[in-house]
Structure formats: structure tokens, C-alpha cells
Structure 1
């Protein structure tokens, strides 16, 4: 799950629509969404059948649907009320990166109460007549916090989505598992110049196909990935205030401090000597 932290600068979240609905006890919905869908249950009990398995969401729970997964949803006799959100979430050109992880399911309200509460309050503010234009931006920020919390819970082993019955909805040619040895190698060899002909064999892929495979899986090229990781580490080293620019350049495989400073300034818009 570290990929989301390492590549946070490349993450793009697009909030497409957000509404609150209150269906009655006779409500039944048969559907498969074209994008990611999130339901924040406000009241009542919502039953969701996927692949013949019935799941139940209670007030405060967050329901996370992946695209193109058919489901049947209904609520009890008392009806229900929930906020639903359609959104896209991607890294670079990989616009459905979350599908490579088992996140789709019902997140217990005890695990996500703070983030879900922020979103619900932000939604209420955005619905007020004459609301400020910034309310939509804040709503998007709160949705980002909800997704980040789900990712963190999964990374900590505290949550695993149950909608796929143990199988993530990966797409052919976009399986991040194959690239795990590549990620580890890059992290262990930042002190040197990393070549594509070193990385391709680690994934069992021909050098000719490796760059396109990597970009489809991760959303950016291997070169962009290596550069991003090096800039992340450079930032961390500078924050520690223990190393000179020359030392950091050596740690990250740059031939001299000038080359490193040029690369750093291109990314952060300030030289390392003035980074604060």
C-alpha cells in the first residue's frame, strides 16, 4: 500500500456527483456503477447482495463499490437514508488504481467514524442555500480523507473488503503484484543510476514491453517513478538536517551536488539549500 504515499503527488480524485437519498421500505436497486461509488449510511439498514452473498450496512457504515460490479440493494421496512458519491481515483494515467486492492466492501463505522463524520458535515454545508464556492473543494478534501482512511486500514490489516470474496477486481496487464520485486529493487538501489534493463527481468517482462506494462499498472513511467522516489527521499533527508547536499546526492545516485540540486529544484522549485 506504500505506493499511495510514495506517489501521492500523482493522485487525482474527481468528485463527479454527490447526493442524499431517502428511499422507502419498498426500495430495491439492481445496478453496476461505471465509476467508484461510496455510500455513507445515515439511518436504517441497507442490505447489499453481491455474487449471491448478502451484506448488511448499519448507520454510520461506509459502503465502497468498485466499477462494473453488479449488486442488488434494498432496505428494511422503515426505509433508509444515505449519501452517495460517484468519483474517480487514480495515479497518473491509471484511473482505477484502487481495483488492484481488496477495498470494496462495508467499512464498519467504528473504524471510520471521524472521516465519515467530516464528510457528512461538509456535505450538509454544501447543500445550504447560498453556500460558498469553497464548500465543494472542502467536500472533495473530506472524500480524500475517507479514501485515505480506507487505504490505511487495509494496509494495517484492520479492514479487507468482502465484496470480491477474496479476489480483487484486477484488470489484465495491470497487476501490481508482478512489479513488487521492481519496487523493492528501486528502493534498495537509490544510491546508483537505475537502468531499465535491470528492472525488466525482475518482473519477468521483456525490456521492450516493460515500460508500457509499468505505466499501465502504476499510471506513470518507471523513470518518473524512480525520480519521484528519489525526490521523496531527498525531502526526508533534508528534514532530518543531518546531511550535506553532497552526502544526499551520493545517497541518491547523483554524480555530484550540482546535478542533484538541479533535479531537486526542478521538482520543488527551490534549491535544496533553501528547502524548509
Structure 2
């Protein structure tokens, strides 16, 4: 499968970058487990679960498919994956972390992407050592280790998503999930997201976006919020503030020019919206 094909099929992963302020990651548990040769378990976790296999080999059965992970591999489970795991050989040892990943009010946003599966550590070779160090400190209840682990996990996940977006990785568990129904169909919103991106310099109305989606305005607002965890208006506002920040940092455009580029009727309206978001007026944002 070519990289281009993957990008079309996955849609716009860049929305995680655009909406990074709305992303929340919560660590629920983290530790290291040692299992004997006869270990076997069948589970479906209520949250996301990431394993790093330190020693041994694990066989995973998901529906009628068999997957094998070896020492050095990572295994990422989504809440939709029911599995049976067992040791092969003399036993196994792995570090695990249970976590929630939400975008706004959408608690299962990652389920829309084929991210769960077995990953070679070479895909995250720069990020993995910091994560494992933070994991070890957290397991030992070291000071500030919770913050360090959350930060290291965020960086590790962002790298996995980057690999996914580039076509270097595709999770093999997604098609085998016990519940293949997505929390909300992001594919139907791709034309809307593209419409917003190319018309960000114009005033955008929800009715206009609903028409692009082929939905009634009321249903579109509900559908959009279920899919992305925020309202269409909040999404447009976020993108405008992201672009405003970039334009201000460039030190190339005046406040009036930026207002015009972002579809505001005048500099005052833009400055008011900017101050509401960043707590300072645009004239004082870049010192």
C-alpha cells in the first residue's frame, strides 16, 4: 500500500495538531509484569493499553487471527480489541500503561484510525528510551514522575501517529476489533474540514458547513461534536487563532492584514477574539 493511499484512507490526522490544546491524556495505571511459561489471559480493556515487551515472546489471538510479538516490540490495544494473550517459551516480561486519550468530549477519537497493533521499536527509537525511563520512575513512585510519564507518553503517541500518517505503520488489530462501529464517522466530515481550511480567510457560518456535509444544521452540529468533541464554531475559532499566532510570529503582517486574512470584518473584531483566546491583545502577543 502506497503512502498516498494511506493518507486518503486515514483522512486528516493533522487535526490532532490543530486541536492539540483540546487533547487530554490521563494515565490510569503503569507497571511491569512478569509471567511464567503457562501464562494466558483473555481481556478487553475499557481504556487504551500500551505494552513494551522487555523479554520473551507473546502470542495474541484476536478473533481468528494470530499475532506474535517479540522482545523489543510494542503492542497497542484500543478499547475495541478483545484478545487472548499467552507466553511462548520460557515466559515473558513487559511494561504496560493504561491511559485515556480524548479530544474535547470525544473519549474514543483514536478508534477512528488503525493505530492498534504491534509496532517495531525502530519506529520510535528516539522517543522510546525517554518513555521507558519515565515509566520506571513512575513505577518507583519517584517525585514528579506522573508528569514526566504523561509527557513521555504524549511524545511517544505523537510519533506513532506521525508514522501512521506517513504510511510507515498501520495497526493490524483495527480490522479485527470486536466493535468495528466508529464512535462517529470522520470520513463524512473530511469535505467540511477541507472546506474550512481553504476558506479560513472568509466568514464561515454553520449553515454553510452543514450544507457541505449534506446535513441539516441541527444534526450537523450534533454529528460534528460527537466526532471531534467540540462544536463546529469552536473548531473554526481554534484554527483561526492558530493561524493568527503563526502570522504574528512571522512579523510580516499588520493587525489589519491578519484580520482580513482570517475573515474578520475589522481589526477590532479580530483583536477582541484574539484577546479572548490568548488573554492578551495581538499587539502585545509578540514582544
TM-score normalised to structure 2 length: 0.91
> Structure 1 unaligned runs (5+)?
none
Higher deviation after alignment, 166-175 or 31-40:
166-175
Does residue 68 in structure 1 map to residue 80 in structure 2? yes
SS at match of 1:233: helix
Residues 114 and 59 of structure 1: CA distance in aligned 2, closer, same or farther (over 3 Å): farther
Q: Do structure 1's residue 147 and structure 2's residue 157 form an aligned pair?
A: yes
Task: Report 1:109-148 matches (<5 A).
Answer: 109-128=121-140, 131-132=142-143, 134-148=144-158
**CA deviation vs aligned residue, 1:122-167 (integer Å, no higher than 9, x gap):** 12122336x21x1111011111111111111101110000012388
Q: Is 1:106 equivalent to 2:118 in the alignment?
A: yes
Q: Distance in 2 between matches of 1:230 and 1:168?
A: 39
Structure 1 residues 139, 172: closer, same or farther in 2, change over 3 A? Answer: closer
Unaligned runs of 5+ in 2: 1-12
Quick check: 1:81 aligned with 2:93? Answer: yes
Match runs of 1:88-237 below 5 Å: 88-128=100-140, 131-132=142-143, 134-165=144-175, 171=181, 174-237=184-247
Q: Tell me the residue number matched to 1:268.
A: 278
Question: Structure 1 31/128 Cα, relative in aligned 2: closer, same or farther at 3 Å?
Answer: closer
Equivalent position SS for 1:255: coil
2:252 to 242, 256, 271: 242
| Aligned-partner Cα distance in 1 for 2:178–2:84 | 19
Question: Could you tell me whether the CA contact under 8 Å between 2:60 and 2:83 is conserved in 1?
Answer: yes
The answer to whether the 8 Å contact 1:102/1:167 transfers is: no
**Contact kept? 1:42, 1:60, Cα under 8 Å:** yes
**RMSD of the alignment, in Å?**
1.6
1:23 — aligned with what? Answer: 35
Deviating beyond 4 angstroms after TM superposition, the runs of 4 or more aligned structure 1 residues are 166-170
Residues 39 and 84, structure 1, Cα contact 8 Å, conserved in 2 = yes
Is it true that 1:12 corresponds to 2:24 in the alignment?
Answer: yes
CA contact (8 A) 2:48 2:79 kept: yes
